Structure 1
Amino acid sequence: MASTNDHPGESAAGDPVKLIAVRDSALSVDEVFRALGDDAAGGVALFVGTVRNHDGGADVDALGYSCHPSAEAEMRRVAEKVVAEYPVRALAAVHRVGDLTIGDLAVVVGVSCPHRAEAFDACRKLIDDLKHEVPIWKHQRFSDGTEEWVGAC
Structure 2
Amino acid sequence: MRILVQSEPFDFAAETAEFGRGRKDVGAVVTFQGIVRDDGGRLSRMEIEHYPGMTQKAISDIAEEAARRWNLADVLVIHRYGDMRPGETIMMVAAAARHRADAFAAAEFLMDYLKSRAPFWKKEFGPDGAEWVAAKDEDEAALKRW
TM-score when normalising by structure 2: 0.82
The aligned residue for residue 49 of structure 2 is 66
Amino acid at match of 1:82: A
Question: Among the aligned pairs, what percent are the same residue?
Answer: 27
The aligned residue for residue 148 of structure 1 is 131
Q: Does 1:101 align with 2:101?
A: no
Amino acid at match of 1:102: P
- CA-CA distance at 1:83 after TM superposition: 0.8
The aligned residue for residue 113 of structure 1 is 97
TM-score when normalising by structure 1: 0.79
Taking a change above 3 Å as real, the CA distance of residues 81 and 63 of structure 1, as seen in their structure-2 partners, is same
How many residues align structurally? 133
Q: Does 1:50 align with 2:35?
A: yes
The match for 2:11 among 28, 44, 50 is 28
- CA-CA distance at 1:146 after TM superposition: 3.4
Deviations 1:74-113 (A, max 9, x none): 1101101101110201100010111001110000111011
Taking a change above 3 Å as real, the CA distance of residues 32 and 77 of structure 1, as seen in their structure-2 partners, is farther
Give me the CA root mean square deviation. Answer: 1.9
Is residue 22–residue 94 contact of structure 1 (8 Å, CA) maintained in 2? yes
Gaps of 5+ in 1: 1-16
The structure that is helix-richer by fraction is: 2
Deviations 1:25-71 (A, max 9, x none): 102212244234431111110010001112xx572221111111211
The structure that is strand-richer by fraction is: 1
The aligned residue for residue 108 of structure 2 is 124
